[in-house]
């Protein structure tokens, strides 16, 4: 899958430190919001999905789209849209794990802890920024070449001999009465 990081939105959400105790649900909500995993118009509960994915990751059991849509409380078609950011950041991957006589297919977190998952996000972002830096360098090079070409064209025109003026359909050499 081609990764699309262009729709990422980081938000400055902090855990409410004023509370007596922080729950895993609250911390999952903060983590999900900071990474902007939830689409703006969605009512999906991504923090609940994160907690479930972590629980199933420990047992190495992939979650099917049906199960994920139940966790998020949305339709299956919308589930794919919700998972897009997770996949583009490298947080989840589609896997086929052999079990018994067949395979179990579904989505699995790419790491066991949120700290390792954040390493994946950081890696994805750095790769995205490296690619953008290469594009920026190429762009700057093109702009520099364009300026140099423009300057060299202007210099050639200022030192070029004057073209003869056309009068009455024929070219003639300028005389002393012509104004410049």
The pTM score is 0.69
Please give the Cα distance from 172 to 180 (Å, whole number): 15
User: What pLDDT was estimated at residue 65?
Assistant: 94
Cβ neighbour number for residue 64 with a 10 Å cutoff: 14
* Geometric angle at alpha carbon 75, from 103 and 58, rounded to 5°: 40
Q: Which of 2, 36, 30, 38 is nearest to 14 (CA)?
A: 30
Give pLDDT, residue 180: 47
- At residue 135, the pLDDT reads 93
Average pLDDT per block of 10 residues along the chain, 180 residues long: 56 73 88 82 88 94 94 92 89 90 92 93 88 93 86 68 56 56
Dmax over Cα atoms in the chain, in whole Å?
Answer: 102
pLDDT of residue 2: 53
pLDDT given for residue 172 in this prediction: 56
pLDDT of residue 112: 93
Decide: 106 and 78 in contact? Cβ < 8 Å.
Answer: no
Q: All domains of the chain, ordered by start, with CATH?
A: 24-133 (1.10.10)
């Amino acid at each position: 899958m081609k990764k699309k990081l262009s729709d990422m939105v980081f938000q400055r959400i902090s855990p409410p430190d004023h509370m007596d105790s922080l729950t895993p649900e609250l911390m999952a909500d903060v983590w999900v919001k900071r990474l902007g995993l939830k689409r703006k118009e969605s009512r999906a509960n991504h923090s609940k999905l994160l907690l479930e994915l972590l629980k199933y990751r420990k047992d190495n059991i992939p979650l099917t789209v049906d199960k994920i849509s139940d966790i998020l409380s949305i339709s299956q078609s919308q589930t794919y849209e919700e998972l897009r950011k997770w996949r583009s950041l490298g947080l989840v991957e589609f896997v086929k794990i052999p079990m018994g006589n067949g395979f179990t297919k579904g989505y699995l977190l790419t790491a066991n802890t949120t700290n390792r998952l954040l390493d994946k996000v950081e890696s994805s972002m750095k790769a995205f920024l490296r690619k953008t830096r290469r594009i920026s360098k190429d762009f700057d090079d093109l702009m520099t070449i364009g300026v140099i070409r423009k300057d060299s064209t202007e210099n050639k025109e200022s030192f070029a001999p004057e073209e003869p003026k056309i009068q009455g359909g024929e070219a003639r050499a300028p005389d002393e009465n012509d104004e410049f």
